[in-house]
Amino acid sequence: MPNQAAQSLNGIPIYKRAVFTFSGAHFLNDLVTTGMVPALVVMYKQAFHLNYTASTLIVLVSYLTSSVAQPLYGMLADRKPNVWWLTVGVFMSITGLALTGIAPSLPWLLVFVAMSGLGSGAFHPEASRGTHLASGSKKGLAQAIFQVGGNAGQAFGPLMVPLFLIHTGIKGLVWLLPVALLSLLYTGQILKWLHRRVKESAHALKQGEGENHIVGVILLVIVILFRSWCQIGVVVFLPFYLHNVSIQVSETLNFVFVGAGALGTFLGGLWSDRLGMKRLLLLSMFVATPFAILFPHLDGLLSYADLLLFGFSVLSSFSVSVVYMQKLLPKNIALASGLSIGFGVGAGGIGSIFMGGISDLMGVPTVFSMLSLLPLIAGVIAIFLPSDRIRHVARANAL
């Protein structure tokens, strides 16, 4: 029966319109949440006269709201799907950041950042499940396209700071409000299809389900968490680490790091079909380790080259880990997305505030020395993950 189900999936075409819609929405969402928020910390620090610990509190609120909320949204979406979260979530994430431009004080700034984070938390599980439903027999490819949208948003987010906000100041963020309104139209056009597919998948789930692998889920969340701490740590602290260069140069380096990660995310999704998800995850972490260790000791063109290879390798497992989590949690696809994209990735903000405290006490170089060891630790933990060749019962992979 499982073999027949697997065979029935072969040849099912990917619904490109839906996948690219979700990917585009992911770009808009992550452009402002995981892209611009960390990059804006320097400007928020100056505008509100904050120390390092208070500055990273902004990132903590952003990622904590999305990381705590995303698994909750995922569980709710598994029990009672609400496809409109896709549209409302993107609107809230963009609007929240836009309103930080007129925040009169730090508490209000944190409220608006939290609003943006909650919108992101609502968006991701529904969008990732939608991608799963539209993928047909190309689960890895579809998830790679979806994640590349988010990673591209993270990469272009830092570029928005020197190219736009450096001339307008924080108040220029209010110009994101028209983008928020356009996002309603962009995502709304796919809701009818998504609602129909969610109903069909719910019926398919009743025909049979695989078993959740809880130990594997815990291990994979830890691996994603360490990877996220490394990624977010580099993005947040790079401008502080390179204090002797301009904001434009440091944000360009951020773009190199996250942009290379977007390419790695896409190619990693393709390669995983041949190599296997666990093997690619291990390669990603262990290959990234030497580049992470070398970076604090390099400068000039070598630092650009190192960051490019570092970002490519460490994030090449991004889309793979989402599909891996969905295989480990076949009964709870939306929750799997919430854990892998939300809690695992968003919890990087939790680590950032501890890194901020260490920076105040011991200096930013100490933080970078700590970050360089995280891929190695994640790789060691990944060795104990269960095989990704998990057998599924005939529910047509739900989908």
Identity of residue 40: L
CATH number of the domain enclosing 88:
1.20.1250.20
119 by Cβ neighbours in 10 Å (0-12 / 13-18 / 19+) ranks as buried
- List alpha helices for 135-213, DSSP H: 139-160, 166-168, 177-188, 191-205
152 token code pair:
């591209």
Residue with token string 């440091």: 250
Note whether residue 142 is domain-resident.
Answer: yes
Dist. CA 249–CA 278, nearest whole Å: 36
10-residue mean pLDDT series, the chain (399 residues): 40 84 94 82 81 79 78 81 88 94 89 92 87 82 86 79 73 91 94 86 60 89 88 74 65 78 84 84 93 80 87 88 87 83 68 73 74 90 83 40
Dist. CA 82–CA 84, nearest whole Å: 5
Note whether residue 60 is domain-resident.
Answer: yes
Helix, strand or coil, per DSSP, at residue 15? coil
Note whether residue 232 is domain-resident.
Answer: yes
pLDDT of 111 reads: 94
Domain assignment of residue 41, given as a range? 2-393
Q: How many CB atoms lie within 10 A of CB 302?
A: 12
Identity of residue 185: L
pLDDT of 206 reads: 56
Task: Please count the structural domains in the chain.
Answer: 1
Note whether residue 399 is domain-resident.
Answer: no
Note whether residue 398 is domain-resident.
Answer: no
Note whether residue 156 is domain-resident.
Answer: yes
Dist. CA 127–CA 146, nearest whole Å: 9
Q: What is the DSSP string of 311-366?
A: HHHHTTTHHHHHHHHHHH-TT-HHHHHIIIIIIHHHTHHHHHHHHHHHHHHH-HHH
pLDDT of 164 reads: 66
Dist. CA 82–CA 363, nearest whole Å: 46
| pTM (two decimals) | 0.75
Dist. CA 367–CA 37, nearest whole Å: 20
Question: Are 5 and 393 within 8 A, CB to CB?
Answer: yes
pLDDT of 246 reads: 64
Dist. CA 253–CA 39, nearest whole Å: 12
Note whether residue 242 is domain-resident.
Answer: yes
Question: Are 56 and 236 within 8 A, CB to CB?
Answer: yes
Note whether residue 386 is domain-resident.
Answer: yes
Dist. CA 178–CA 183, nearest whole Å: 9
Q: How many CB atoms lie within 10 A of CB 17?
A: 12
pLDDT of 202 reads: 66
According to the 3-state scheme, what is the secondary structure of 196-226? Answer: HHHHHHHHHHCCCCCCCCHHHHHHHHHHHHH
